[in-house]
Structure 1
Amino acid sequence: MLARQVSEAAEALIVTWTAVAQDAVPRLSTLQLEALLIVRRSPGINLTGLAERISATPPAASRLCDRLEAAGLLDRRRTSANRRAIELRLTSHGLRMLDTLSERRIDAIGRVLGDVPADQGEALLAGLRAFAEAVETANAASEA
């Protein structure tokens, strides 16, 4: 079955991807890192939006944001349009930390890809892009 083979093959990529995060300073859980990445992609997202994206309750998302804010990675601000609404933004420290993590991941994956024949690397990239597009299509359909 293709799904099983892809899952098994993807494990090496996932292990390489996540191993780099284990050395991040500060050390973040997968959920904390996911939340920061969501806020980077959607600056100004509100707490409810973040909670929905990470499949958590608003109180759980708020506690998660408390920890990220205490670490100096996230900022919560009241919006000027609605004084009750809170928007989430990364701090400069949070942005730098994610940029550093991204560069370290690129380096780690690049080292592995150095041992992969170029045509197979291109095929891998094409397959991953097709997978990402299918995920976006599925997400858009489920939100409609």
Structure 2
Amino acid sequence: MADKLDTCARELLDVMPLVMQDLRRTMRSHASPDLRVPELRSLAFLRHSPGSNLTDLAEHIGVSLPSMSKLVDTLAYRGFIDRQSDPDDRRRVRLRLTTDGLSVLSAAREAVKTAFAVKLARLDAGAIETVTTGLRLLRQLFDGSLEERGTPRETEAAGA
């Protein structure tokens, strides 16, 4: 079992950079050539975490606060995000996606989805089903929902 886990982990490590490289390339060339990938990632984060502050966003994107502040200024200037005072702490600012921000993000996601579908079309139906199942399992694993249900071993032990 340890060998299978090691192989699976290695495959995941090897494929993630390839997927991200393709995603970035597609976003740059087709989706929103006027938006950089960190800007699109920021919009995506705010779509899933509305009301986040500058620190939350900087930590997620992996940049310094001054860099994130500049990026947020640009996004706000372009009308893609709104800044709102935090009612509990006036020194903090909450960030939210605007309708225009959601629109540009949706267009970017659609372009990437289309590009991925073109690549996936090279696979037969069985392989597509296998990939889809694997991706759903990875989502559950990384979003924490698989841990909440318990790993298969914990579930088996509880029933034994």
TM-score (norm 1): 0.79
CA deviation vs aligned residue, 1:7-60 (integer Å, no higher than 9, x gap): 444555434422321133352222222111111111111112212222333222
RMSD: 2.5
Unaligned runs of 5+ in 2: 1-6, 148-160
CA contact (8 A) 1:26 1:71 kept: no
Aligned in 2, Cα 1:134/1:73: closer, same or farther, shift over 3 Å? same
Alpha-carbon distance in structure 2 between the residues aligned to 1:22 and 1:14: 12
Q: CA deviation at 1:110?
A: 1.6
CA contact (8 A) 1:39 1:88 kept: yes
Could you say which residue in structure 1 is the equivalent of 2:28? 22
**Residue type of the alignment partner of 2:25:** A
Tell whether 2:132 aligns with 1:135: no
CA contact (8 A) 1:76 1:86 kept: yes
Could you say which residue in structure 1 is the equivalent of 2:90? 83
Task: Please say which structure displays the higher CA radius of gyration.
Answer: 2
**Residue type of the alignment partner of 1:97:** V
Q: What is the aligned residue count?
A: 139
Alpha-carbon distance in structure 2 between the residues aligned to 1:83 and 1:62: 17
Q: CA deviation at 1:62?
A: 1.2
**Residue type of the alignment partner of 1:82:** D
CA contact (8 A) 1:21 1:27 kept: no
CA deviation vs aligned residue, 1:73-117 (integer Å, no higher than 9, x gap): 122121334332211011211100011111112222222222211
Alpha-carbon distance in structure 2 between the residues aligned to 1:56 and 1:101: 22
TM-score (norm 2): 0.72
